[in-house]
Amino acid sequence: MKIRVTVLPKPSVLDPQGVATADAMQHLGWKNPGRVRVGKIIEIESPGERPDEDKLHAICRDLLSNPVIEDYTFEIVES
């Protein structure tokens, strides 16, 4: 089983990494890349049973993301 968790800064939080990355895209000739946010992907490959949805949400909310500043989504890539 493979689960992929995506964590991104909330739109209301200043993301200086995203701003710097957008600036660099302009150096590559993309004149107006718009808003860029830099987050992280956490991939979990587990030989065991898949936790239920509530448990997965709890793991994402309490450890993998900080709900004050970040949003998360997860997808089951392989079941």
Contact between residue 72 and residue 60 where contact means Cβ atoms under 8 Å apart: yes
User: Least separation, in Å, of the C-beta of 20 and another protein?
Assistant: 6
Q: Which is nearer to another protein, 1 or 64 (CB)?
A: 64
Distance, in Å, from the CA atom of 20 to the CA atom of 73, rounded to the nearest integer, reads: 24
Q: Which is nearer to another protein, 12 or 79 (CB)?
A: 12
Token reading at 14: 């200043």
Q: Which is nearer to another protein, 27 or 78 (CB)?
A: 27
User: Least separation, in Å, of the C-beta of 42 and another protein?
Assistant: 8
Site for another protein, rule CB under 8 A:
9, 12-17, 20, 63-64, 66, 68-69
What value does the CA radius of gyration of the chain take, rounded to a whole number of Å?
Answer: 16
User: Least separation, in Å, of the C-beta of 55 and another protein?
Assistant: 16
Token reading at 60: 């994402």
Whose structure tokens read 């710097």?
20
